[in-house]
A and B are shown apart, each in its own frame.
Chain A
Amino acid sequence: MSLLDEMKGRIKERLPELDVVIGWQRGFDPLHATPLFMRGEEDVDRLVLDPLCVHNLATYLTGLRDKKVGVVVKGCDSRSVIELLQEKLLDRENITVFGFPCEGVVSLKKIAREVDLDLVEDARVEGDTVKVTVDGGEKSFPLAEVAADKCGRCRYHNALLSDEFVGEPVTEPEADEYADVAEFESRPLEERAGHWREAMQRCIRCYACRNACPLCVCRDHCVAHCRDPHWITEQDTVDEKWFFQVIHAMHLAGRCTECGECERACPVGIPLLLLKRKLNKEVEELFDYRAGTKVEATPPLMAFQVEEENINERGW
């Protein structure tokens, strides 16, 4: 039985006890998947499960806290669920997790560099090849080449938490050493500042980055819109926009599970994940902690210790 059929079967089994199960279906073209809210068996028949299922569906969970919700998760998405549970933003008994071994998702931005996404006629994933038909011609891409960058670094391909696990777990690769962050940090300060200034210039302050983030839970009460106190002005200057991104990154330090949704959601392609990874690198170095990997752990910024092991507070 295919992974998809097995998943459909498991969801159908559990559906009667749940209000909704969130998965993916085909979107407006064959390359775009879109979230699917399954309430009846006929909805489950529309489920798809392949590397085009890019969205982190854990984003919806806090908004459905009073419901019995099932959610289909990849490895990285499962970390978001764990982090939310750790922060007591979800109730374990209300969540049913359907996990599967993920071997990477497609970055549509990478595909867009090669073909015109506006003219996609067909798209399929066959083994580890992504086949896209545009304007009558078919192009093949090895999944590894067009997978999201986060997938190349991921060492949690198998959902870390699941009530129903479908498929055979895959072998997890070696540790992520934050090479990308180190490379960026090796550049001159002016160049780094220029990089962000240029990127923030095209930010339209839409806050898709914020709303797509499963851990960004203030939403309707966000500092970006708060009038009293009025932290951020309405100006569309680079400074104001950058200010918000830095706040977002700081609020996500040690909580961000690097799902990359902030970056994927940004309509103007701002590479936000690098910023989040920088803070996660610091958190890992200081607290030996990776967000969303153990349900029973307490995130470091939610814990208090008189003396931190890796922070030399008195030795100078």
Chain B
Amino acid sequence: MMEAKFIPGDKVPAWLAELAKERRTAVPRREGGAVVFRPFDPDQPVPLGRQATTPPKGSVFPQCEPLMVFRYEKDPASPDTSQVRVKETIDETPRLVVGGRPCDARGFATFDRVYDAEDVKDLNYLARREHTAFITMACPRPSSTCFCHWVGSGPADTECSDVLMTPVEGGYVLEPVTETGGELLQSSLLEDAGKRLDEAHAVHKRAAEGLGEAPDLSETPGKLLELFDDMGFWEEVSAKCISCGACTYLCPTCYCFNITDEACGAEGARLRTWDNCMSYQFTMEASGHNPRPTKAHRLKNRVGHKFSYYPTIHGGAIACCGCGRCIKHCPVSVDIREIVLKATAAESAEQE
């Protein structure tokens, strides 16, 4: 039987230090004005108060990883031919991420449907995913940019988390979600949660209420498709976008990648790096043709992928966790909620 625990706030660093002995542990750290995930360091404060600037997606899907390393070797018997030796690089280090938000963890559900599908398994991704545990911080106060409730989630969602951590008076309530989560709660620093569990559930309820009513997005996938050829619409909603890509790189659900071979002399690596649909090169073809030549085409892809094409092939699941980072950190404040609502409404008006 897995029971909820409580940890006093001042014991959190000691607990993290214990956990970090067993697993490579990433926690939020303040750097410059930003909060980013970094390996746990007992000398650094761990800001758990608000959503981090960058999501912890790199722990499972790094920005850059070698899929394999290779080396050309001459055959001494026939010096004109060379052989290429290839070594796959699969990383099975046990990891732990502490302090992501429910939306951050839930982002991995979007990845799983693609990289852990029945017919295709991405071994590099799977190795990391299986060996990474998440202790997620429930949100006591949603931000003005949060809309997790639009996409079927919420500030205390436990999907893809192993432990849900909730701030209460004097510390945090820790609720195990998975078996791994139960194992993470064995420390002698933890107390039984007792009545504090009710307090935690009251926090969850208040946060959910704080988000207000969610709009009905059931018609959105179809409506976005109907707008596909309406470039006037896409030009209007993308006018202020500067096509940078900050939104996709900060997004816990964006999973597109690029593959390049980077060789130096006889040695090299096949790298997989994040790609992003806001960049001109994203769909650039070898022929020189680019089916997404303008930022309007590209923003259409970003919104369409998340709210139409992906849900259509994945049983209605939206490829956005509602974290709001793309809104909050966009240099020009492009608001994906506004575009989705506009698209959803635009077509209904026409149909009337």
Chain A contacts to B: CB under 8 angstroms:
27-29, 32-37, 55, 59-60, 109, 112-113, 116, 118-120, 198-199, 201-202, 204-208, 210-212, 219-221, 225, 233-236, 261, 264-265, 267-271
Contacts and interface: CB of A to CB of B under 8 A. Distances in A.
Given A235-B64, A265-B246, A27 B262 contact: no
Given A28-B327, A199-B32, A267-B329, A212 B281 contact: no
B63 A119 contact: no
B51 interface: yes
Contacts of B310: none
14 contacts: A27-B333, A34-B335, A35-B240, A37-B236, A55-B332, A119-B143, A204-B63, A205-B63, A206-B245, A212-B244, A219-B243, A225-B280, A235-B271, A268-B31
Contacts of B243: 211, 219
A204 B240 contact: no
Q: Which 10 A-B pairs give the minimum distances between C-beta atoms?
A: A118-B143, A265-B331, A269-B33, A220-B280, A269-B32, A211-B244, A35-B240, A208-B244, A27-B333, A34-B333
Interface size class of B (residues with CB under 8 A): 35 or more
A13 B53 CA distance: 43
Contacts of A55: 331-332
Given A28-B144, A211-B331, A268-B36, 20 more contacts: A28-B333, A36-B240, A60-B242, A118-B144, A202-B31, A204-B63, A204-B249, A206-B250, A206-B276, A211-B242, A212-B331, A221-B280, A234-B273, A235-B271, A265-B246, A265-B331, A268-B32, A268-B34, A268-B54, A269-B31
B36 A208 contact: no
Interface in B26-63: 31-34, 36, 50-51, 53-54, 62-63
Interface of B: 31-34, 36, 50-51, 53-54, 62-64, 141, 143-145, 236, 239-240, 242-246, 248-250, 258, 260, 262, 271, 273, 276, 279-281, 327-329, 331-335, 338
Q: Which of A28, A37, A198 has the most C-beta atoms of chain B within 10 angstroms of its own C-beta?
A: A28
Contacts of B31: 198, 201-202, 268-269
Given A267-B329, A270-B32, A208 B335 contact: no
B331 A234 contact: no
A52 to B, nearest CB: 11
B239 A37 contact: yes
Among A29, A204, A270, the most chain B Cβ lie within 10 Å of the Cβ of A204
Contacts of A234: 64, 258, 260, 262, 271, 273
A208 B331 contact: yes
Nearest to A135: B141
Contacts of A270: 32
A202 B62 CA distance: 13
A84 to B, nearest CB: 16
A210 B244 contact: yes
Contacts of B53: 267-268
Q: Which of A27, A206, A207, A264 has the most CB of B within 10 A?
A: A206
B333 A206 contact: no
Q: Give the residue among A113, A210, A264, A268 with the most B Cβ atoms within 10 A.
A: A268
A204 B243 CA distance: 15
B33 A59 contact: no
A236 to B, nearest CB: 4
B246 A267 contact: yes
Nearest to A59: B242
Contacts of A220: 280-281
A28 B53 CA distance: 17
A118 B51 contact: yes
A109 B33 contact: yes
B281 A118 contact: no
Contacts of B273: 234-236
B342 to A, nearest CB: 14
A217 to B, nearest CB: 13
A37 B271 contact: no
Contacts of B280: 219-221, 225
Contact of B145 (A28, A60, A109, A207): A28
Nearest to B242: A211
A35 B332 contact: yes
Given A116-B50, A207-B245, A29 B32 contact: no
Contact of A265 (B64, B244, B276): B244
B249 A206 contact: yes
